[in-house]
């Protein structure tokens, strides 16, 4: 396996990378937002108004994770984390755990970093203490904070509309250092992630590449765009990086 100097790679992923694992994207005709209004399931106000509907939506999605597996695109990025000598920073908007599972199957380099900026389905947060706990089951009104034992205080550890994404300082640092930026499986509708490529364009340092089924909203900001299924185009592109062809 060849890898060259210390090129720094930042990868942003979205729902499209998990589509071929069987998880719905958000904005497809039959996508997650099709049967649900964002205002009903993905805002702090919705949770205050109707916690049961919001918990049901995320309970259903958490349960789905039992039946899905990382695909060739997740595995290719895990390979990059294991073999690339420079920094690999993987930033995902996804709340599934497919990147984590793929990376758990390899030995990532010390220089690999992972940020799930929109939270994760397999964690809950106590609205009183702000403590975060790993969680595999449904959240019900009886679910209790594992430390305090108090029931009814847990919410999904998910960033809702109107809330600040996680790890923004770390991501900003990574963008400032980045030589190669890949945006995979995201429609470029939701900020701040949709703005990363514009920020990089302003900095003028990184080569930016979109890998998506179709042109995203921001496709014109990228130096290069490759369109196709993630399970095909991501392994191909990663092989080119690891062969030293790209940076």
Residue 16 in the binding site for ligand OAD (CB under 6 A): yes
Closest separation in Å from C-beta 31 to ligand OAD: 5
Catalytic residue (choose from 69, 118, 157, 227): 118
Report the nearest approach of ligand OAD to the CB of residue 11 (Å).
13
23 or 180: CB nearest ligand OAD: 23
How many residues at the interface with ligand OAD, by CB under 6 A?
24
Q: Which residue is nearest to ligand OAD (CB)?
A: 16
CB of 86 or CB of 119, closer to ligand OAD: 119
Active site residue 223: no
> Among 85, 137, 138, 214, which residue interacts with ligand OAD (rule: CB under 6 A)?
214
- Establish if 208 lies at the interface with ligand OAD (CB under 6 A): no
SS (H, E, C) the chain: CCCCCCCCEEEEECCHHHHCCCCCCCCCCCCCCCCCCHHHHCCHHHHHHCHHHHHHHHHHHHHHHHHCCCCHHHHHHHHHHHHCCCCEEEEECCCCCHHHHHHHCCCCCCCEEEEECCEEEEEEEECCCCCEEECCCCCCCCCECCCCCCECCEEEEECCCCCCCCCHHHHHHHHHHCCEEEEECCCCCCCCHHHHHHHHHHHCCCEEEEEECCCCCCHHHCCEEEECCHHHHHHHHHHHHHCCCCC
User: Rounded CA gap, 158 and 9, in Å?
Assistant: 26
Q: Which residue has the tokens 């809950």?
A: 124
Binding-site member from 21, 113, 116, 212 for ligand OAD (CB under 6 A): 212
The yes or no reply on residue 7 touching ligand OAD (CB under 6 A) is no
Window 163-192: residues binding ligand OAD (CB under 6 A): 185-187, 189-190
Which of 68, 72, 144, 213 is close enough to bind ligand OAD by CB under 6 A? 213
- Residue choice 21, 93, 116, 183 for contact with ligand OAD (CB under 6 A): 93
What torsion, rounded to 10 degrees, do the Cα atoms 169, 110, 104, 126 define? -30
Q: Which of residues 128-157 bind ligand OAD (CB under 6 A)?
A: none
Catalytic residues: 118
Q: Which residues are near ligand OAD by CB under 6 A?
A: 14-16, 19-20, 25-27, 31, 42, 93, 118, 159, 185-187, 189-190, 212-214, 216, 229-230
């Amino acid at each position: 396996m060849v890898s060259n100097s210390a090129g720094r790679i930042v990868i942003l992923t979205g729902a499209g990378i998990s589509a071929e694992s069987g998880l719905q994207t958000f904005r497809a005709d039959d996508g997650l937002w099709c049967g649900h209004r964002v205002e009903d399931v993905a805002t702090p106000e919705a949770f205050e108004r109707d916690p049961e509907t919001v918990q049901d939506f995320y309970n259903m999605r958490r349960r789905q994770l039992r039946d899905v597996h990382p695909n060739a695109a997740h595995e290719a990025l895990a390979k990059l984390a294991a073999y690339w000598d420079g920094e690999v920073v993987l930033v995902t908007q996804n709340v599934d755990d497919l990147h984590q599972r793929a990376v758990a199957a390899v030995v990532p380099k010390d220089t690999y970093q992972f940020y799930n900026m929109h939270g994760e389905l397999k964690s809950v947060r106590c609205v009183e203490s702000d403590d975060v706990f790993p969680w595999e089951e449904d959240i019900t009104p009886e679910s209790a904070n594992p430390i305090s034992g108090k029931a009814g205080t847990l919410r999904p550890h998910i960033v809702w509309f109107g809330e600040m994404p996680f790890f923004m300082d770390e991501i900003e640092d990574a963008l400032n250092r980045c030589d190669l930026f890949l945006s995979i499986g995201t429609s470029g509708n939701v900020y701040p992630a949709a703005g990363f490529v514009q920020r990089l364009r302003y900095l003028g340092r990184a080569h930016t590449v979109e890998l998506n089924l179709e042109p995203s909203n921001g496709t014109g900001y990228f130096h290069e765009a490759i369109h196709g299924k993630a399970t095909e185009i991501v392994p191909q592109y990663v092989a080119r990086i690891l062969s030293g062809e790209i940076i």
